[in-house]
Structure 1
């Protein structure tokens, strides 16, 4: 940042901190008295009071107000009509000054209570701009109000308002402009006499009205400057005796204004102005600004009528915007209901939203969207690449702040991801999990546009380091890039509603899953107990069958016919197979009952041991073994031995008939887990039946072709799942198969 830029920023900040509500002086078209309301004696007076009263301001301190005015004006009685909650100047009546005062014409007396004192402003009666027939503005105001119900657009409402205000005041130019979220004001309506420059459709930069001035416009809805070349009249004494500080004149009609603003007016060719605030939902929505190229008095009645019109205008704008907001909110909620209904009909939030892609985009007025969870990143419409979207999710996870993040300028607000700005200008994201980094994200494209400024918005710094008001008010165009359409507050509010509903759905599904898991756990325990009981009870009769058939063969074998011997052999084989099946079933049931005893397991040593044990099963066969350097894992050694034993034994069995047979054992390291696989070039299987592979008693090959009980792979799955891992298989008929399982790098139970 250059020295010049730093100086300008400092000057702008000093301007924004100028205490404009305590200027210490007034405009001289009237005079101001500060009273102690208990005794109605004067505490402060504007210096120009001498012009009206014939008494120096410093001599007025301590004097009773009654001594300065006509005896017929009873201030105490008049103050009884001042509403207790009234903070704005209130017309309590007219009075003449004491005999001998230089000014003998009637004066209007405006009173308000503020800063622990009673503030009186006295100003002369003055003819209205349109002549005496307009002294009563009631018919004009009534006619204006009666036509408002026919107006349906804000632009038309503003145009009618500026025309009516110009008619009442006689100012040469009256314009109405609206502030955007950044404070830039755009002129939406204007009525001007010939010779006045037109600002219709032009923009005034936010820096033209410092933040403290905006706040003053919000709370005090009218401000009049009758002559931009006026000489301010200071208060005497300078401090409010009740506070020891400068008098707060936030609500005073005669309050003096900043010299910077007066110079701004003169630079603009304006010597008189009146500003009327448009306040909607207690926020400064815009201004009606009246300009004249010559000094111009504005009578109290004129000000009152215009202030009333501005209040009616504010209420009407609020009603129109409220109606539009209600309609927009209804549309948003209808789309929320459709998305929630789809989520409820699907197994996950992602699947539900993916089933309604157009609704999700229309909901936020977006061109693209993303649904991000721990396992996946689903994209809808025009979005950045998935890698950038995931990077955005990581960035969102690191930031602290509101549940909803939104920006209309990604390049400005997400500096860590410069590449993102090449694909989207606007981003809105909401977290849909209180634990995990799960997000819904919407994207908007760049909306390049031209801004027509009322002059170049740049400002300069004076020799004293103060901000110089700009001189340029000629139309100046600026091409604005890098911005998307801004996210409407109602859309942000709708996103928060959607988030709350999604969290509710997720919580309800989690409760349902927890309940289902509990029921499954009970069923599994009952099934395991039943399996154990059946297996245990079957062992004895099977042993008896095997034993008696063996005795029968030994004792009566010579007397049996060949057919009888064959039947007896079938009985012995069946009994032996049934015994093996019962033993395997018993082991399977015990897998869910036995506690895991985790320790370091060397899988290379384990694989070598299993190969040695299985040598009788592949003696005389040509098998090419490819065993990688397997990492050590933390697991239950006995159970992992059963897993590898089953997978290697299956590879040996199903490669029977291959010459040579190839069996590969390897591992792949992932971010949070280790993946192991056993691959062979055997008979393979049809992937259409892959879901049956790991079920109990499920077989894809006939017993005559390949022996087995159908429990081995079911045991593999149960063991791996107990280790918080995953298991799956891939294969093609006659082209081999591969079986995979994973183990976590950091087991929870370790």
Structure 2
């Protein structure tokens, strides 16, 4: 059975040591709490978001955030409990007199991690209708190449990245760029191969990142996390805003990219491909945009797998 049919297994137990490095990208801020909602960690840059500092450590979350916000966060966690994924809140009012924030919330071994980003202005666009239209185009493709091409163009239209590459996992578990959509003048990666070790590592990292990994600016200075004296370093395994590793930064710079977004293509629980987006300038794919792309890739995965096995 080929990789296209069975998928490359993703080991949910593998956690690279760098996932314990307590630094995040500055486009987001982090608050971590115990299961009793006592604040154990905050990112140093949270003062820029909510004008709070290390003095809140040891207090309960409702001491810092609005009661309605805490209630909404609890509700999201209850809805996602047992699913192993992250919960999300769009346009949440956290404190009086502050702008709205978009939240990603997940559970870890000691409690909960809340990541907040500046909220996006809500679009009047029909997101479901947009996705249906894009998927209808993909389904009209008559060849595997056309299927991947239409998907790459759709993702580029959604995100605005300079280059979107669709990679397939081959039978020997290497990856190969089988399609791309790119801005004129941007170097092509079409036909490039990716080592099996890198594909496996990327698959595990992306799985840990709740189906996506973002680098908003390779030159941004990461924000450290602060905690009380009795708390161990925070496990950031599942944090969307986790600062990229030096290896990841070197890889992006090698390809003249200053921003990136990566998503796994998963079919029947197995990794069958990757979507990798690169941009020559700093670019943060917005919260809503990332949700749309993630859903699109989930829908596209079946068509991608079917195209690979069609004679």
Coarse TM-score class (shorter-chain normalised): 0.7 to 0.9
Are positions 1:277 and 2:250 aligned together? Answer: no
Residue 197 to residue 238, structure 1, CA distance change in 2 (3 Å) = farther
1:253 to partner: Cα distance: 1.4
CA distance in 1, matches of 2:69, 2:94: 13
CA distance in 2, matches of 1:314, 1:238: 44
Are positions 1:168 and 2:158 aligned together? Answer: yes
Q: Is the 8 A contact 2:162 2:278 kept in 1?
A: yes
The partner residue of 2:86 within 84, 89, 103 is 89
CA distance in 1, matches of 2:229, 2:296: 36
What are the residue-to-residue correspondences of 1:482-631 with 2, within 5 Å?
A: none
Post-superposition CA distance 1:160-185 (Å, at most 9, x none): 11100000111111111112244432
Larger Rg: 1
Paired residue for 1:538? Answer: none
Post-superposition CA distance 1:645-701 (Å, at most 9, x none): xxxxxxxxxxxxxxxxxxxxxxxxxxxxxxxxxxxxxxxxxxxxxxxxxxxxxxxxx
Paired residue for 2:204? Answer: 215
1:215 to partner: Cα distance: 1.6
1:115 to partner: Cα distance: 2.2
Residue 189 to residue 212, structure 1, CA distance change in 2 (3 Å) = closer
Post-superposition CA distance 1:452-499 (Å, at most 9, x none): xxxxxxxxxxxxxxxxxxxxxxxxxxxxxxxxxxxxxxxxxxxxxxxx
Q: Is the 8 A contact 1:88 1:252 kept in 2?
A: no
Say how many residue pairs are matched: 295
1:113 to partner: Cα distance: 1.4
The partner residue of 1:264 within 244, 251, 260 is 251
CA distance in 2, matches of 1:29, 1:257: 13
Paired residue for 2:195? Answer: 205
Paired residue for 1:75? Answer: 70
Q: Relative CO higher for 1 or 2, CA cutoff 8 Å, sep ≥ 6?
A: 2
Paired residue for 1:108? Answer: 102
Paired residue for 2:55? Answer: 59
CA distance in 1, matches of 2:42, 2:69: 20
CA distance in 2, matches of 1:226, 1:239: 31
Post-superposition CA distance 1:110-165 (Å, at most 9, x none): 2121223111111112359xxx565x432220112234443353322111111000
Are positions 1:123 and 2:110 aligned together? Answer: no
1:107 to partner: Cα distance: 0.9
Paired residue for 2:4? Answer: none
**Residue aligned with 2:20, SS:** coil
TM-score, normalized by length of structure 1? 0.37
CA distance in 1, matches of 2:84, 2:254: 33
Paired residue for 1:361? Answer: none
Post-superposition CA distance 1:87-106 (Å, at most 9, x none): 33322353334357xxx211
Paired residue for 1:401? Answer: none
Paired residue for 2:46? Answer: 49
CA distance in 1, matches of 2:160, 2:59: 40
Paired residue for 2:174? Answer: 184
The partner residue of 1:140 within 101, 111, 130 is 130
Q: Which runs of 4+ in 1 moved over 6 A?
A: none
CA distance in 1, matches of 2:15, 2:92: 39
Post-superposition CA distance 1:423-445 (Å, at most 9, x none): xxxxxxxxxxxxxxxxxxxxxxx
1:256 to partner: Cα distance: 1.7
Q: Is the 8 A contact 2:236 2:242 kept in 1?
A: yes
Are positions 1:195 and 2:191 aligned together? Answer: no
Residue 24 to residue 232, structure 1, CA distance change in 2 (3 Å) = same
Are positions 1:26 and 2:24 aligned together? Answer: yes
Q: Is the 8 A contact 1:173 1:193 kept in 2?
A: yes
**Residue aligned with 1:270, SS:** coil
1:44 to partner: Cα distance: 1.0
TM-score, normalized by length of structure 2? 0.84
**Residue aligned with 1:198, SS:** coil
Q: Is the 8 A contact 2:41 2:234 kept in 1?
A: no
Paired residue for 2:283? Answer: 296
Residue 214 to residue 78, structure 1, CA distance change in 2 (3 Å) = closer
Post-superposition CA distance 1:181-206 (Å, at most 9, x none): 44432111111111200111222334
CA distance in 2, matches of 1:296, 1:190: 19
1:77 to partner: Cα distance: 4.9
**Residue aligned with 2:225, SS:** strand
Paired residue for 1:584? Answer: none
CA distance in 2, matches of 1:110, 1:292: 24
Residue 126 to residue 297, structure 1, CA distance change in 2 (3 Å) = farther
Residue 67 to residue 189, structure 1, CA distance change in 2 (3 Å) = same
Say which structure is richer in helix: 1
What are the residue-to-residue correspondences of 1:242-261 with 2, within 5 Å?
A: 244=232, 246-261=233-248
CA distance in 2, matches of 1:173, 1:28: 24
Paired residue for 1:316? Answer: 303
Residue 22 to residue 70, structure 1, CA distance change in 2 (3 Å) = same
Paired residue for 1:675? Answer: none
Post-superposition CA distance 1:264-286 (Å, at most 9, x none): 21222100100111123322222
